[in-house]
Structure 1
């Protein structure tokens, strides 16, 4: 990997040898994603630098990653004070994203992820007679393309994405469906959320909305979510009733067929 070399500024201070924390690495990775979105670095450079970030052990290891990007003066390194070894990329920088498990399970229950959280490269979602809500409007993607592998049985998954994020559906559905919002960008370097897996007697809904919003907007979102969940429960009830009726008809037809065969054997005898 060829990272930019920072200019020599004399002997390395002791603070540069301090150990970097996970929060420090997350803030540097966040700045690299911004640089990728701004076109300052290529996807290949971004991948190389992200690898270097999560291998870094000290502030000195992190400094070359941001050296040639705007705002590098606040990057970790020789200027970091020994008493407070914390990365500060910007005075108004957002807090580091909260790391989450790469697995979500909702069985006869619900699961929600929203706010500022770190989306792993692959997240497995299991939904059985339950509901899952994922809000990516303030989330930080660990890489340009992430994958949501959804296994949904008699349940629903609601996903909210911000403008500029592409959603690619590569999943399958049986007695269910995917309601996917259309792309609003033609940028080939736009972040991508790819959906895979199987939906059986359930549904996946993706909508696009701006981050933030008023209290009334949030109330409306909750109302819409509850309305969709009620509709899904009603549809699941109807499908379950239809399956029971079909099973009953098949059972009656099989019984009639066996009775006809017995009557035929008796007549032959």
Structure 2
């Protein structure tokens, strides 16, 4: 009897594939890659089945504004990102009273390492990461409640590394790996 691997690689959805195709087209239009490189990249993207295959298909592209940092800020209410979205190399999330939910399970990672800096006063924060992600929370300071995070027993190589830093006042951060 054949057993299934404990942590199968995370499969990509069509939105992630479409985002990768768009990224290749933009690189070609901006003159960063040749026609042959675009054809080769499109072939890799269109046949990719896992997130790590998609990341390696885009690895030769120049970084997209690598020096910039994206910031999501709100005084209160909710901060929510989910579905297919590009995760920047550095993401800052700032709020005094908002609830935060970042769902990275279907996000497109163009960088092998992503830094998320939280500057939160009160309110809960929940981050859902891909199954094959490695998470580092050593740079995060919590004031009131401990972070809830249970690392995967074994993670597959090729997933993104997510470093979470910053500070949380009176809220709790819950991090979980996506189920599929």
Q: Are residue 202 (structure 1) and residue 174 (structure 2) matched?
A: no
- In the TM superposition, 1:237-252 aligns within 5 A as none
Deviation at 1:106, TM superposition (A): 2.8
Deviation at 1:60, TM superposition (A): 5.7
* Bigger relative contact order, structure 1 or 2 (CA pairs below 8 A, ≥6 apart): 2
What does residue 90 of structure 2 align with? Answer: 122
Q: 1:201 to 1:27 in 2, by over 3 A?
A: same
Q: Tell which structure's C-alpha radius of gyration is larger.
A: 1
Which structure shows the bigger proportion of residues in helix conformation? Answer: 1
What does residue 8 of structure 1 align with? Answer: none
Hey, what's the Cα distance between the residues in 2 that align with 1:177 and 1:56?
47
Q: 1:143 to 1:60 in 2, by over 3 A?
A: closer
Q: Deviations over 1:16-46 (max 9, x none)?
A: xxxxxxx99842768xxxxxxxxxxxxxxxx
Q: Are residue 179 (structure 1) and residue 148 (structure 2) matched?
A: yes
Which residue among 2, 14, 34 is the counterpart of 1:61?
Answer: 34
Hey, what's the Cα distance between the residues in 2 that align with 1:108 and 1:150?
15
Q: Deviations over 1:31-78 (max 9, x none)?
A: xxxxxxxxxxxxxxxxxxxxxx858624862532663x7925xxxxxx
Task: Specify every segment of 5 or more residues in structure 1 that has no aligned partner in the other structure, as ranges.
Answer: 1-22, 31-52, 73-88, 94-100, 212-269
8 Å contact kept, 1:121–1:143: yes
- In the TM superposition, 1:141-152 aligns within 5 A as 141-152=109-120
Q: 1:91 to 1:186 in 2, by over 3 A?
A: closer
Q: Deviations over 1:221-269 (max 9, x none)?
A: xxxxxxxxxxxxxxxxxxxxxxxxxxxxxxxxxxxxxxxxxxxxxxxxx
Which residue among 87, 90, 98 is the counterpart of 2:46?
Answer: 90
Which structure shows the bigger proportion of residues in strand conformation? Answer: 2
Hey, what's the Cα distance between the residues in 1 that align with 2:134 and 2:164?
11
Q: Are residue 138 (structure 1) and residue 132 (structure 2) matched?
A: no
Hey, what's the Cα distance between the residues in 1 that align with 2:47 and 2:32?
19
Q: 1:71 to 1:113 in 2, by over 3 A?
A: same
Task: Specify every segment of 5 or more residues in structure 2 that has no aligned partner in the other structure, as ranges.
Answer: 1-16, 50-68
Aligned length: 143
Deviation at 1:201, TM superposition (A): 1.3
Hey, what's the Cα distance between the residues in 2 that align with 1:151 and 1:24?
32
Hey, what's the Cα distance between the residues in 2 that align with 1:160 and 1:90?
26
TM-score normalized by the length of structure 1: 0.45
Q: Are residue 164 (structure 1) and residue 158 (structure 2) matched?
A: no
